Amino acid sequence: MPTARERMTIRGSLGADSFLPWIARHAARLGLTGEVRHADAARVDIDIAGPADLIDAMEMGCLLGPIDVWIETIDRAPVPSG
Amino acid sequence: MTTSSQPMIDQWYPVALASQLPPEGRATQLMGAPIVVLPGEPIRVVAGGGRDLPVTVRYGHVWTSLGEPSKELFDIPEADQPGRRLVEVGVVRVRCSPLRAVENFLDIAHFPFVHTDILGAEPHTEVGKYDVEIREEEDEVWATKVQFYQPQAAKSATGGITTDYMYRVPAPTSSVLYKTCPARPGDWDVITLFVQPLTEELCDVWPWMALFDDETPTTDLIHFQQMIFLQDRSILENQIPRLLPLDPGREIPTRADLTSVAYRRWLKRHLFTYGAQLVAQ
């Protein structure tokens, strides 16, 4: 399965303390590696690496997110390796 | 019932077929509350303590609400289109969350595995890309440009065809499916799923159809749809967790689940949580 490395930019009402641990759990469940590059109440950027289909699944999961968070949009862009 | 149920209390729900009300009425439940649907002119729906509930009769069904609906029941313009046959399928009781019943109706990926050789067949299991949106003006979930190979898409179909689908969710426990009409290419058959939430884990499902089909006997149309829904029931009654998770938790939604994800997001946005699990367990 082809692997990819992408920057996922999540926008919405993201202020709940539950969100970053939730992202870490969901990524781990999918076997993805990730690193939070930016986090505030309106935007979270994560660099995420793994099989492309599972990064798709990460996006689907994040669109729902935990109940106390509302995700408005998710943008994805490739991150150059190196 | 908790105050968090309020947004769903104020919705319309189907509670009976208007044409088949017995003289003594239909005693049933709505969101855990006992109600009686009484025949007459006009039809009445009475809750505990003798309180009359709002009533509207549309699409062959009696609709009511425990609360105060802020708008009229959603419109299905095809219901008034000349030449269509309006088919009242009846009721199927399912031991599942009413939201699970709607979500299952929106899921195409299960067709080859649950409705084998009817609505789907191996090896045609792949769900192609399609569009999903929450339409802001109508405040409805829409999935369009859905295509799927079906061995027998409808009772009137004589062979396998690639069927076009559109799905619409105009209310938390109602969904409208538009699919290729075998008899009239270019037109859509309309198949609906109206769900009456008896409790958070029990529902009555009232399918209803508006078809272009002048030939198939009504009993055959009804038996075909009932067979489909009975196949779904065995799956629905064994789903874990029983409530519909709004946090994916252990579930791993994929791109094929885009309609389900949009439906859950829409429920979450409106706090339509009766029958939902809020925190993953």
Q: Specify the pLDDT at position B157.
A: 65
Contact flag A67-B250 (C-beta cutoff 8 Å): no
Chain A residue closest in CA terms to B278? A67
pLDDT top residue among B46 and A3: B46
- Give the separation between CA B158 and CA B164, rounded to whole angstroms: 16
Q: Specify the pLDDT at position B3.
A: 45
- Give the separation between CA B26 and CA B212, rounded to whole angstroms: 31
Q: Specify the pLDDT at position B43.
A: 97
Architecture of the domain whose range is B78-277: 2-Layer Sandwich (3.30)
- Any idea where the domains of chain A sit in the sequence? 3-78
Chain B residue closest in CA terms to A13? B269
Q: Specify the pLDDT at position A25.
A: 92
Contact flag B279-A67 (C-beta cutoff 8 Å): yes
A70, pLDDT greater than 60: yes
Is the CB of residue A62 less than 8 Å away from at least one CB of chain B?
no
Q: Specify the pLDDT at position B194.
A: 98
The answer to whether A23 and A14 are in contact (CB under 8 A) is no
- Any idea where the domains of chain B sit in the sequence? 1-73, 78-277
Q: And the tokens for B24?
A: 């003594």
Chain B residue closest in CA terms to A66? B247
Confidence of residue A64 (pLDDT cuts 50, 70, 90): very high
% of chain B with per-residue pLDDT over 90:
62
Is the CB of residue B246 less than 8 Å away from at least one CB of chain A?
yes
Q: Specify the pLDDT at position A15.
A: 84
- Of B182, B199, B1, B221, nearest to B89 by C-alpha is B221
- Give the separation between CA B92 and CA B59, rounded to whole angstroms: 17
Q: Mutation test of the interface with chain B: which of A59, A64, A68, A69, choosing the one with the most B Cβ atoms within 10 A?
A: A64
- CA B212 to each of CA A12, B85, B100, B183, B218: distance values in angstroms, whole numbers, following the listed order: 44, 6, 29, 7, 12
First to last CA, chain A: 21
Contact flag B247-A53 (C-beta cutoff 8 Å): no
Confidence of residue A54 (pLDDT cuts 50, 70, 90): very high
Q: What value does the mean pLDDT take over residues A46-71?
A: 93
Match domain B1-73 to its CATH number in 2.20.25.680, 3.40.640.10, 1.10.3470.10, 1.20.190.20: 2.20.25.680
Task: Judge whether B1-73 and B78-277 match in fold.
Answer: no
pLDDT 10s digits, B95-105: 999 999 999 99
CATH number corresponding to A3-78: 3.30.70.100
In the predicted model, residues of chain B with pLDDT beneath 70 are 1-5, 112-121, 123-124, 152-158, 281
Q: And the tokens for A24?
A: 């870490």
Give the mean pLDDT of chain B: 89
